[in-house]
Structure 1
Amino acid sequence: MKKSKPSAVARFSSQIMAVVRRIRRESQNDAESWARILLLGAIDRSGNRATPTELALSAVMRSSNLAAALRELDEQGLIVRTPDTADKRKVRVALTAQGECLLYESRARRERWLAEAIRASLTADEQAQLLKAGELLERIAAYDGPSPPMD
């Protein structure tokens, strides 16, 4: 069977994933694993008020893996867990100052690499186009419609 040329959408998906992999590789300088950085980011995006269940959904982690990761982050002084004020059965997770510092340094390192890659690889017009395309990507990421059925 002859391999067909990838569709434009398949090629676009591959291009996005190549950038994501490169950004992830840039974060490997962190002492923390990529999964831990993603978890710290999910806590930060929650406004430091997420429950473990919300974090598991946001970070796409199984509850057993999440529990182990939260335990590690707690032991490292990167997060604090406190009982929910309205429902004492629930726990809320927040970043400590040390956790925020680690997360923000990781983000800054990745952003510096991306800014340099954009500056070095693209013309001024291409840079403007790329940043405008970012707005389109946000709209695509926010799409909440159903997935099409498998053929």
Structure 2
Amino acid sequence: MSGQRADASLLAGELRVVLGQLLRRLREQTEGSDLTRSQSSVLSRLEREGSATATALARAEGVRQQSMAKIIHALQDAGLVSGSPDPNDGRKSLLSLTETAREQFRTGRRAKEDWLTNAIETSLSAEEIGQLSSSTELLRRLAQSL
């Protein structure tokens, strides 16, 4: 392996570990949740992409429609998702986040950002904060690469 390739490989491994640790710390900042990963993933997708049918969600999440039906039922029982008739096909239902779910997203984001702000201010020097700021664009480009 060439030197540059080996360096990139080592960096990739380090980034995976460090970013995983950071994500775990951020998740710790929100109150405990009884939601499964699948349920959380569906809520995040609805927040990012807007209303969707159960069929579209199942396809996007890579699960069977029966599995998605169970996920949706649990989210509806928790008051986090509601359905309304699809204007394009009245036989289908469009699923959307409830205001309760939206408020949980807002509260969770605030808690995570408050923790991260405090960690940056107390753990890093002014120079290091500048370096971290410069690296966010590079991380964004990595996240958006194919």
TM-score class, shorter: 0.7 to 0.9
- Cα 1:95–1:138 change in 2 (3 A) is same
- For residue 139 of structure 1, the aligned residue among 128, 131, 141 is 141
Structure 1: gaps (5+ residues): 1-5, 145-151
Query: Which residue does 2:26 correspond to in 1?
Result: 23
Separation of aligned partners in 1, 2:54 and 2:138: 31
User: Counterpart of 2:27 in structure 1: which amino acid?
Assistant: R
Q: Which moved more, 1:63-72 or 1:91-100?
A: 63-72
Question: How much has 1:100 moved relative to structure 2?
Answer: 0.8
Structure 2: gaps (5+ residues): 1-8
Alignment of 1:7-18 (within 5 A): 7-18=10-21
Separation of aligned partners in 2, 1:30 and 1:16: 21
Separation of aligned partners in 2, 1:107 and 1:73: 20
Identity %: 28
Alignment of 1:2-151 (within 5 A): 7-27=10-30, 29-33=31-35, 35=37, 36-46=39-49, 48-56=50-58, 60=61, 62-63=63-64, 64-144=66-146
Q: CA offsets, 1:23-53, max 9 Å, x none? A: 12323x233436244432221111x323334
SS in 2 for 1:49: coil
Separation of aligned partners in 2, 1:16 and 1:92: 35
Structure 1-normalised TM-score? Answer: 0.74
SS in 2 for 1:31: coil
SS in 2 for 1:88: strand
Separation of aligned partners in 1, 2:94 and 2:145: 28
User: Counterpart of 1:20 in structure 2: which amino acid?
Assistant: L
Q: CA offsets, 1:34-91, max 9 Å, x none? A: 6244432221111x32333443465x46234433222111112211112321133443
Separation of aligned partners in 2, 1:112 and 1:69: 31
Normalized per residue, which structure has more helix?
A: 2
- Aligned partners of 1:52 and 1:66 also within 8 Å: yes
SS in 2 for 1:62: coil
Give the total of aligned pairs: 137
User: Counterpart of 2:115 in structure 1: which amino acid?
Assistant: W
- Cα 1:61–1:112 change in 2 (3 A) is farther
